[in-house]
Amino acid sequence: MQGHVTILGFTPNIEAMIASGGRISTMDGTADEIFEASLAAGREKNEKLIGKVLSSGHTSVLEHGFVNLAFENVSVLAEQFLIEFRLASFTVKSRRYVDFSKAGYVSPELEHDAQREIFDETVRTLFAIYDELEAAGVPKEDARFVLPYCFCSNFFCSMNARELLHVMNELRYGRGSEIPELWALGESLFLQCEEKLPFLAVRKKDAYAKKTLPLPDGVPVLPEAQVTLLDGTREPEKLICRAAYLANGMQAPGLTRDEQARILRTLLQNNRKRELEQASFTLLYSGMSLAALTHLTRHRMQALCAPDLLENADYSRFVLPESVRKAGMESRYREAFSIAEAAARKLSSMGAGKDALSYLLVSGLQVPVVSTMNAGELYTFFRLRTCERAQWEIRELATEALKVLRAAHPALFSLYGPTCFMTGACPEGRMCCGKTAQVREKFSGTL
């Protein structure tokens, strides 16, 4: 099965809207008058102006146009690549609740029938193990860990035209060009733009050519600790409080810990958390499953160094859900990873390339991930991911990250936790875990 991408729609009068952005800085008249003038100018003149503005490097005008996309039956490998573009909105079919036994899969380009036979047989076996796990009572969110990275995903995606231009070039000429599926998605978007949005079909082959980093040989990341604080603001409480004073036109006096705590609590309750964003922290997650990586990647306001999956994945390192043990399926579960590894080794010995081997990565494989978030985004991350409703693996990792940050900066991060801990109320309604008191007690103490 081979998936595709479709441009479903875009901002009405998109050329006029973007051209208006190009005109307003140098043209007399109000915003309404300039937009009306752009409508009257017609598509050809507007596209010519847009081209002129873009050629001078002023690409921000493209952000006034919005484009809606549908990705149908693309691989989850493609999904993970795409959701790393943080200036886009995604709604993805959930692997926690939807049965993926009949999802289908994307087949890589393989030269020989023998290679295709090995690949197809391996994928069918992994899907069969997924079915066996479900039949044994393993929840869908845990059974999915044995699915290969070629299984099909469907999702909607929306972004401004500037980000789409970036995505297309990254797919076609940048990191995505090494994977034929991603290359084809990028080319398809370019062809659709040439037909529907010709001003956007700007190919930047040289600008997106991948540069190889001159990295001397290193050593693999060993799982010495589940989460490690690599770096961060040294005195975040002091800096955040100082920023709050400066925002009000004052220098911060010497504050007691209680005074700092009152300021921090109030800032955490405000919708606008700019003061908190002055402090940032870099965390290393030494072993995060590919499935959990998807959860982390969806947090936009972070600097995420997603690893090269094929270079970092080790078939001997994978997440093992407790539900699998309880169902008596541990042996069969482990077998899934052994089967995938054996097939990958065989295909590699037969000359299969990186693109094909990437599809045999299994969703439960663990990789090291580095992420930098500011204290404002960490508020959102911990509020959502330490909640009992969060997927259990990302919840465990988030709780461990909070534990590490509390050890380094207790005055600030003792105030962080799930929503019920931070606000006193659960937002989940009928889906509430029913353990609000216990959860609040847990996060009020030592994790």
Q: What is the pLDDT of residues 354-378, one digit of tens each?
A: 889 999 999 999 999 999 999 999 9
pLDDT on residue 21 = 96
- pLDDT (tens digit per residue) in 268-300: 999 999 999 999 999 999 999 999 999 999 998
Residue 145 pLDDT > 70: yes
Give the mean pLDDT of 388-397: 96
Q: What's the CATH number for 227-304+367-444? A: 3.30.1360.170
pLDDT of 222 > 80? The answer is no
pLDDT > 80? residue 60 = yes
Distance CA 66, CA 199 (A): 14
CA atoms within 13 A on the CB side of 73: 10
Phi, psi angle pair for 288, to nearest 5°: -125, 130
In the block, residue with structure tokens 């990275």: 149
Is the pLDDT at 185 greater than 80? The verdict is yes
pLDDT band at 335 (very low <50, low <70, confident <90, very high): very high
Residue 180 is predicted with a pLDDT of 95
Residue type, 232: G
Q: Supply the pLDDT for residue 431.
A: 87
Structure-token pair, residue 435: 């353990």
Rounded Cα–Cα distance for residues 127 and 105 (Å): 10
The larger pLDDT score, comparing residue 218 to residue 192, is at 192
Residue 1 has pLDDT above 70, yes or no: no
- Confidence check: pLDDT of 184 > 80: yes
Could you tell me the two tokens for 154?
């469907």
The average pLDDT across 131-154 equals 97
Mean pLDDT score, 56-73:
96
- For the cut 90, the answer to whether the pLDDT of residue 266 exceeds it is yes
DSSP H helices, 159-256, are 161-172, 180-196, 236-247
Per-residue pLDDT at 307:
81
Higher pLDDT, 424 or 75: 75
**Rounded CA gap, 75 and 2, in Å?**
9
Q: Which long-range contacts (CB under 8 A, 24 or more apart) does 173-177 make?
A: 173/203, 173/204, 173/205, 173/207, 173/208, 173/209, 174/208, 174/209, 174/210, 175/81, 175/210, 176/81, 177/210
Q: Is the pLDDT of residue 301 over 80?
A: yes
Q: How far apart are CA 68 and CA 3, in angstroms?
A: 17
Q: Which 3 state secondary structure label does DSSP give 395?
A: helix
Mean pLDDT of 48-60: 94
Computed from CA positions of residues 161, 92, 280, 379, in that sequence, does the dihedral angle turn out positive or negative?
positive
Would you state the pLDDT for residue 223? Answer: 63
Indicate whether 95 pLDDT > 90: no
